[in-house]
Structures are given as C-alpha cells and as structure tokens.
Amino acid sequence: MMTDSQDMTDLAAASSTEKKEHPRRIMTFMRRSSAFTTSQQQGIDDFGEHYLLETENKRFDALAIFGRVAPLTVEIGFGMGYSLITMAEAAPERDFIGIEIHPNGIAQICYEAGQKQLPNLRIIDGDALLMLENYFADSSIDTVQLYFADPWPKKKHHKRRFVQTHNMQLIRQKLKVGGIFHAATDWEHYAQWMLEILDTAEGFSNSAGHGNFAERPDFRPLTKFEVRGQNLGHGVWDVLFRKES
C-alpha cells in the first residue's frame, strides 16, 4: 500500500518531468487590469468588433483586414495606445497593428481609434511572442517597435526582458530585409543591455553605427510620460537596427 509521503514524492517527480518536457514560457509582460472607465467600456462595446483581430487558427492577411497591402508596423506593448494612435494618424500610407495584454489599454485604444475612425489600425489581445511565431508570416513586417517596455530592473528578473538574443532572431525572421526594429527606454541599464545584444545580433546592423544610440526619430511621438521625465532630468535612449539578411 502506498503511503501519503510516497504519493507526494511521485507527484513531485511527475511534475518535474512534465516541466522538462513542456517548459513554461518566460513572460515578459504581466497582465493587469482595473475597472473600465466609461470610454473604455464604450471602446469595447462600440468599436471592439472592428478593431480587435481574431487570431486563433488564423494568419495575417493584409487584404482581408485593411483592404490593401501597405508597409506594416507592429508595436509590442502599446500601453494606453496614445502614441500609436498619433503614429497611425500621421502615416495614413502605412498600416499598424498593436499587440497588448492589458485590458484597459486595449479598450482605451479601441475607443480612441473608433472616435477618429482610423482605417489603418488594428489591435491584438495576446502574447507578442506567440503572435510573432504563429500569426505573422516570415518577412511580412516592415517595422517592429517596442517603446518603454518593462525593464525588469532586478537582476533575477533580467531573463524576463523582451530584448533577448533568441527573441531578436524571431523578430529578424518576421521582418522584411531592410526592416527596422526600434526600441526606446528610459532605463539606462536596459538601454545598454539592448545595445549590447543588438550590436552582436546576427543579421542586424545598427542604423546609428556600432555602439551608438540613435536620435529619437520624428515618427516616434513624445509621450507625456517622456516629457515629464525629461523635465526631471531623466534620459531616454533609442535603438534602431536594420535587418540586413
């Protein structure tokens, strides 16, 4: 007869085996939410059906979604989405897809886009790495942008940072030749981390020259958060890397 302690030992061993066979993905973004504001609820109710993409068992189809084939920008983690709205308004010749997991930000950007009736913007509620792996075809994206992502400042959490060597190779796979990966952060340590990884990443070249940060390009809007930080003397660092092959 098996004892309780033996049961627990067997369960622990089985769990350990399962984890080795199916390792859990390291999460770079944590899902958080609070009660919707009135506008956020309206964003989901009135505009969600139009702006939120259904991605399960589907592949990105520009003609079906936007009615055209145009240069495509994909933003990972757009927060509340105000800068992405500004970019979509300023570049009607491009199409934009924002990927986010925070319900309030998703609802807010649906509201803002709906109020402006933006035709060149769509939203995905989901894990960015899974979307890149499964939804977008190889060599289908012109620009991938990552603005002010969680820097995971504690050393034990650095493995959660989005900019990692293997993630950059996934992005390289999805970018067209000549496509751009553009990231910005206000954490200097994360900025140096990104620069070191990207300067040695296979198939990428630094648009500002090896070892250099880029000037903020005109197409990246200044956010209220960024302006407030600059007024307090905080730095912001941009990196722009081009896919060479």
Enumerate the active-site residues: 150
Amino acid 165 reads T
Residue 75 pairs in a beta bridge with 98, 145
Query: What are the structure tokens assigned to 89, written together?
Result: 């308004």
CA angle 245, 149, 237 (to 5 degrees): 70
- What's the burial of 231, exposed, middle or buried (CB within 10 Å: 0-12/13-18/19+)? exposed
Report the alpha-carbon distance of residue 127 to residue 29 in Å, rounded: 8
Integer Cα distance of 53 and 65 in angstroms? 9
Contact between 129 and 135 under an 8 Å Cβ cutoff? The reply is no
Question: φ and ψ at 69, to 5 degrees?
Answer: -115, 115
Instruction: Let me know: does 240 contact 213? Beta carbons within 8 Å.
Output: no
